[in-house]
Copies of this chain bind each other. A is one copy, B any other.
């Protein structure tokens, strides 16, 4: 067990899987010589060569389409898209290509991973701060994960690389420097589709994704001060959802808050609310509260950005409101 930064944990997962399987290769903008703008791919070109770790032109749409067909023909590509804000550019490859072939054609699988990072809080402005989770979570045939801890970052990335379906791997720019224990075992993996209980509680369930798990954890502390016992669940896998974890928690608390950093309308939090409606309506004693970014662009200036991002205080307020 070593203490690693989140970015280092990802790097370790990539290195181990590339050592294990020669069909794994990486491509993306500035990932090879420079090692990635968030330093996740550092040192890998030196170790594995320019053939398996490739800097690319700025051509996201084509790169994603190439990942799909390279994956169908004997390799396991891992594509880095520098910012989640650029995901619109790869959606044709995901929606009209990756999503359809396992159903249409015989004997095809698509073991590729698309890594990207999103989220606000860094003063990067309206085109570099978004969480567009629902756009990818909407696509059938894809898995979508969003680890929060360094250990999950490593374990989920390894599982994603070994999966035979496309996996969209969502990181967050404010998580890369988070340091924590990470198992050294090269066979350490984390199953996709299983949520993680961050803290147990009896009064309300808070289901959160990505960095919002950390804010939810802080919210649970704020609530504890009011005598409210909140259970925080890190969904980890946005698709498929861990339905049983969701149902079990609500059966206990009868109240829920769902938290996602993306926009509200048709956002990922809407699916969580609707899922709870579908599967746990009878256990609910109050409406599920949604905490999200308001439906507007992420502003640049710090006080504006901080005012619109969801945070612990807003989550705690939502919890109090739905318990009232």
Chain A contacts to B: CB under 8 angstroms: 61, 85-86, 88-89, 91-92, 94-96, 99-100, 103-104, 126-127, 130, 132, 134-135, 137-141, 239, 263, 265-271, 273-278, 281-282, 284, 286-288, 290, 295-297, 299
Assess whether A278 is in contact with B267, with CB atoms less than 8 Å apart: no
Which residues of chain B are within 8 angstroms of A91 by Cβ–Cβ distance? Answer: 88, 91, 135
- Given contacts A265-B138, A265-B271, A287-B277, whether A96 and B88 have CB atoms under 8 Å apart is yes
A-B contact sample (17 more), CB < 8 A, given A138-B267, A265-B271, A276-B277: A61-B61, A85-B95, A86-B92, A88-B91, A95-B132, A100-B297, A103-B296, A103-B297, A103-B299, A139-B263, A140-B263, A266-B268, A270-B273, A273-B278, A274-B290, A281-B284, A281-B286
Q: Is the CB of A288 within 8 A of B296?
A: no
**Could you show 17 A-B contacts with beta carbons less than 8 Å apart?**
A86-B92, A95-B130, A96-B126, A96-B127, A99-B297, A104-B126, A135-B135, A138-B266, A138-B267, A140-B295, A269-B274, A273-B274, A273-B278, A274-B290, A276-B277, A278-B290, A281-B284
Report whether A134 and B141 are in contact in the complex, using a CB–CB cutoff of 8 Å. no
A301 → B minimal CB distance (Å):
11
In the bound complex, residues from chain B placing their C-beta under 8 Å from that of A266 are 134, 137-138, 266, 268, 270-271
Contacts of A290 in B (CB 8 A): 274, 278
Are B271 and A277 closer than 8 Å at their CB atoms? no
Check A287 against B278 for contact (C-beta < 8 Å). Answer: yes
Contacts of A296 in B (CB 8 A): 103, 140-141
Q: Report Cα–Cα, A94/B100, bound state, in Å.
A: 24
* Chain B residues, Cβ within 8 Å of A295: 140
Chain B minimum-CB-distance residue to A238: B266
Chain B residues with CB under 8 Å of A288's CB are: 274, 277
A92 touches B89 (CB 8 A): yes
A265–B239 contact, CB under 8 A?
yes
Residues of B within 8 A of A139 (CB): 263
B104 & A297 in contact (Cβ 8 Å cutoff): yes
Bound-complex Cα distance A89 to B60 (A): 12
B277→A140 contact, CB < 8 A:
no
State the CA gap A288–B280 with chains docked (Å): 11
Q: Name the CB-closest residue of B to A282.
A: B287
Query: Which B residues are CB-close (under 8 A) to A299?
Result: 103
User: How far apart are the CA atoms of A137 and B269 in the complex, in Å?
Assistant: 14
Min CB distance A127 to B, Å, is 5
CA distance A140 to B295 in the complex (A): 5
Contact yes or no, B100 A126, CB < 8 A: yes
Contact A138 B141 (CB under 8 A): no
Docked complex Cα distance between A99 and B265 (Å): 14
